[in-house]
A = this chain, B = another copy of it.
């Protein structure tokens, strides 16, 4: 049982994910960005109105400058963040220095701001990594101006906006006949919708964990509870402030938001409120699992103790009888009888059997 301890350590170690703790707590949105400059930047522009849509891929941010004053609605999506790019485009489109800082920051809290005729919001797209069960985030900054929307993403390999791209290609879709504010809404809506996908996957993990705890309840379960609590911290941290952010759009009196778009933001608001409720449910459930785990461990301890108590009690008669007849007295009753030995041994077994029978009857095991 000694090597047990060793083996046990090697066994549980991979389940505990301390590296994840490091990732979660190394948050600092205030320092000058230490983000590695993106090596490649992809710039996509959609220029559209109800009648027509044009889709470009551009090489330099400077090529997007015409979008500001063309009479179409322009969606400029920039995948990959390079300091000079963000500075140039911000200067041209009238994005304040502080917002530029936010776009380039890492681990910023979701927020909404209105500075100098521009509506700005920043939030995180969440993805679920099926391999390690981690909630991953990608920061997205959205700038809504008159007839244009600029979005800055960190990672060009993925986002949650394909549905928008599809709808932009459909003439007279709601998206095509509405203004830039509706495009902005549509983006936030899809980000929030994707939170549910992530939560669903996390929910599956919770289910699996519950089953595992009921079945085994070993230290691997403990590691998993630990890991899930960390992922919930990530989830909550990213989702809770989005509520205030969307509320910012609802209360805003900016001319950039048309009255008829309000109901759409109200719809997103419904969903983000519910999503936050759901996170609380998850938290409750994980605490339930933690309690369940502790109770299982206690129960098992109780059983081991019961076994010991029973064995100790069953041994008692044998020990006493063996002791009694093992004494070196000259005169010991039964010792000279032919069947004395068998009587003694018989008692050694009959008394415990009788005790077992009583224990059973009294519901002791």
A residues adjacent to B (C-beta < 8 A): 1-6, 8-9, 12-13, 16, 18, 21-22, 24-31, 96-98, 101, 108-109, 111, 113, 115, 174, 189, 192-193, 196-197, 199-200, 203-204, 206-207, 210-211, 214-215, 219, 222, 226, 229-230, 233, 237, 240-241, 263-264, 266-267, 270-271, 273-274, 277-278, 281-282, 284-285, 288, 290-316, 318-341, 344-345, 348, 358-359, 362-365
Contact = CB atoms under 8 A, between A and B. Distances in A.
A226 B348 contact: no
A27 to B, nearest CB: 6
Contacts of A285: 21, 24-25, 230, 233
Given A29-B196, A29-B271, A222-B296, 6 more contacts: A1-B307, A115-B263, A307-B313, A322-B326, A323-B323, A331-B341
B341 A25 contact: no
A3 B196 CA distance: 43
Given A12-B214, A329-B325, A278 B27 contact: yes
B300 A302 contact: yes
Counted per complex, copies of this chain come to: 5
A5 B363 contact: yes
Contact of A3 (B22, B309, B318, B362): B362
A267 to B, nearest CB: 5
A271 B306 contact: no
27 contacts: A1-B306, A6-B362, A18-B214, A25-B199, A26-B203, A27-B196, A27-B274, A28-B200, A96-B263, A108-B274, A109-B270, A109-B277, A115-B263, A233-B281, A304-B305, A307-B313, A311-B312, A319-B322, A319-B323, A320-B322, A320-B348, A324-B348, A325-B328, A326-B327, A326-B328, A329-B344, A332-B341
Nearest to A275: B30
Chain A interface, >50% SS class: helix
A4 B365 contact: yes
A97 B175 CA distance: 13
A274 B325 contact: no
Given A226-B292, A312-B308, A329-B335, A18 B211 contact: yes
Contacts of A322: 319-320, 322-324, 326-327
Contact of A196 (B30, B174, B273, B308): B30
Contacts of A364: 2, 5
A363 B6 CA distance: 10
Contacts of A294: 295, 298
Contact of A237 (B97, B277, B312, B324): B277
B229 A288 contact: yes
A303 B211 contact: no
Contacts of A174: 97
Report which residue of A5, A313, A322, A329 has the largest number of chain B beta carbons within 10 angstroms of its beta carbon.
A329
Report which residue of A1, A271, A306 has the largest number of chain B beta carbons within 10 angstroms of its beta carbon.
A1
A155 to B, nearest CB: 22
Contacts of A278: 25, 27, 237
B320 A229 contact: no
B206 A21 contact: yes
Nearest to A340: B329
Nearest to A306: B304
Contacts of A270: 29, 108-109, 111
A2 B355 CA distance: 10
Report which residue of A200, A288, A320, A334 has the largest number of chain B beta carbons within 10 angstroms of its beta carbon.
A320
